[in-house]
Amino acid sequence: MRIHNLYEDEKGESHFRDIEVEWDVKRPHSSYSKRLPATGIIFRETVADYDLDWHPAPRRQYIINLDAGVKLTASDGESRIIGAGEIVLVEDISGKGHLSQSLGQLRHSIFVPID
């Protein structure tokens, strides 16, 4: 399972990398990761026509897209479409941040803060 990770370097520039979930327990019909820390859950509904300018993430958090995707652009220029059912860990909480653009659909997502 892949998690997109949007992080910042020591100069405040944001970049993408991939994180592979490590399976801790394997059973005949499923695998489980270790329990990860989280401090809550936030439900979000985002309008279908937003186009946010450069901004840092408000906190380190996982964002789980439920029914639509989003286009994120790191300050190094790389863009990714984070689709429905995909997860991004945003950690670019200072510096230039990233761009966030709708793909033309109302989007429901879950934020899972980890700080």
Residue with structure tokens 């941040």?
97
Residue 33 is predicted with a pLDDT of: 97
Any residues with CB less than 8 A from the CB of 33 and at least 6 apart, and which? 21, 22, 23, 24
Record the pTM.
0.94
Residue 115 is predicted with a pLDDT of: 79
Given a cut of 90, whether residue 81 has pLDDT beyond it is yes
In the sheet that holds 61-65, the strands lie side by side as 14-20, 2-8, 87-90, 61-65, 107-113, 42-46
Delineate the domains of the chain, giving CATH numbers in brackets: 2-23+48-113 (2.60.120)
Average pLDDT over residues 53-80: 98
Average pLDDT over residues 61-74: 98
Average pLDDT over residues 15-29: 97
Q: Tokens in use for 21?
A: 């979930």
Residue 98 is predicted with a pLDDT of: 98
Average pLDDT over residues 76-84: 98
Contact 18, 2 (CB under 8 A): yes
Average pLDDT over residues 71-77: 98
Q: How confident is the model at residue 47 (pLDDT cuts 50, 70, 90)?
A: very high
Q: Tokens in use for 6?
A: 């949007």
